[in-house]
Structure formats: structure tokens, C-alpha cells
A and B are shown apart, each in its own frame.
Chain A
Amino acid sequence: SAVISQKPSRDICQRGTSLTIQCQVDSQVTMMFWYRQQPGQSLTLIATANQGSEATYESGFVIDKFPISRPNLTFSTLTVSNMSPEDSSIYLCSVGTNQETQYFGPGTRLLVL
């Protein structure tokens, strides 16, 4: 499986600010996704990061709040904009190839004060 890294691994941010999370894969992948895992809960899909076009967002998530970039087949960023304490979560990227199996990065642990 691909080796996936995320930066930063964790951060503490002030409300009203924005944080950009990076996801890097060691090989080209077809699909990249972003998920949120709120404290003590399961994972929820935020969006599919499409290479060369706008991301596809799930219900309840909007581009103004979670802008996503995917400039190539090995890299994507997720920005959490105008943060509030409710945005405190683990943010995870995952990758998929031509199979449906998705592999996850280590996650970015965000605390908003």
C-alpha cells in the first residue's frame, strides 16, 4: 500500500484563523479523499479531492469552509477556514487506486481555542 504522510501532525489554533493541512503520497493515486473524525466519533467524508478540477463535497460541507486543492496525483491540501472550537477534530486524508480499498494517513489533530 502507499505511504501517506500528513502535515502538521497536530496543531492548536485560535478561533477565527485558518489552517492548511497537507497530504503527500509516495506514489501516484487515482483518488484522494478528506475525512473528519470528531472526538470519540467515527469518520465522516468531507469531500473527494479531484485532480485538476474542483473538489466534490458531501452534504453539510462547503467549499468556503473547507477549500481543497489537488494539483497533482500525489498531493492534496485541505484548509479549515475561520475556525471555531467545533472544528476541533482529527482530519484524515485517504487514497485509493483503481480498487475501492482506501488507505489512510496518520491524521492531523486540530484543537481550536
Chain B
Amino acid sequence: GESVGLHLPTLSVQEGDNSIINCAYSNSASDYFIWYKQESGKGPQFIIDIRSNMDKRQGQRVTVLLNKTVKHLSLQIAATQPGDSAVYFCAETGGGADGLTFGKGTHLIIQP
């Protein structure tokens, strides 16, 4: 069936460096995409979202890029901090009352 997947299960970066987490999706009808951060023992925390009529959206230290041609989504985190260590999930939905389809997750490790 349709799915959302990630290229790298684990990403290790030095504190202060920028990190990029990638996600591929296969449902061409996907209309809305969200990135979540999940720390150990907690529920997923909303980071940033983007709609299919956009190709870039920026937040505080985070940027999401959407390439609909190749069905690719990425999350860029600038100047990583120890608190950024977590598992990051991309999720997609067709919108409206639909639930979310999640990718496999990437464990981001920030090294001092």
C-alpha cells in the first residue's frame, strides 16, 4: 500500500552543526505533511508542517522542504543543540478528517 519512509534510521551530528533528515512518500494524493519530534518516554511533538501547494516553510531553527516531483520531504535543523536529540517522524495525510501515515523515524544524535 501507500507508505511514507525515511532514508536513514540514525543520524549523528556535532553540536552546532546543521542536520538534514529526509523522508520519501509514495502517496501522490498527499496534501499535508507534518514533522514530529519524539523524545524518550513522551508523545510526538509537532515541529512544523507544510501543504502541498508550498515547497518551503521556515520556523525557528527549522526548515521543511517539499519536492513533489520526486515525492521527497526534508527537515533541516540549524545549529543543533543537545535538546534536539530525539526521534523525528514525518507524517502525511490527504487532509480533512484523515488520520496520519507515519514514516519509520530517524534517531538524531547530537554529539558534544
- A residues contacting B by CB (< 8 A) are 1, 4, 30-31, 33, 35, 41-45, 48, 58, 92, 94, 100-107
Contact partner of A1 among B36, B46, B96, B100, CB < 8 A? B46
Would A101 and B46 count as touching, CB distance under 8 A? Answer: yes
List of A residues within 8 angstroms of B89 by Cβ: 42-43
Contacts of A106 on B, CB cut-off 8 Å?
Answer: 42-43
The answer for the CA separation of A76 and B49 in the assembled complex, in Å, is: 26
- Contact in complex: B32, A92 (CB < 8 Å): no
Known contacts A42-B105, A100-B32, A101-B34; A107/B42 CB under 8 A: yes
Query: Nearest A residue to B92 by beta-carbon distance?
Result: A100
Interface residue? B99 (CB, 8 A): yes
Q: Which 7 A-B pairs have the closest CB atoms?
A: A104-B43, A45-B99, A42-B102, A100-B32, A43-B102, A104-B44, A107-B43
Would you call B104 an interface residue if the criterion is a C-beta within 8 Å of the partner chain's C-beta atoms? Answer: yes
In angstroms, Cα B36 to Cα A2, docked, is: 16
Q: Hey, which chain B residues are within 8 Å of A107, CB to CB? A: 42-43
Return the chain B residue nearest A106 by Cβ: B43
With CB as the reference atom, state the residue of chain A lying closest to B95.
A100
CB–CB B43/A45 < 8 A: no
Q: Is B97 an interface residue (CB 8 A)?
A: yes
CB proximity to A under 8 Å, residues B1-42: 31-32, 34, 36, 42
The complex places the Cα of A80 from the Cα of B100 at a distance, in Å, of 21
Complex alpha-carbon distance, A106 and B45, angstroms: 9
A41, A45, A92 — most chain B CB neighbours (10 Å): A45
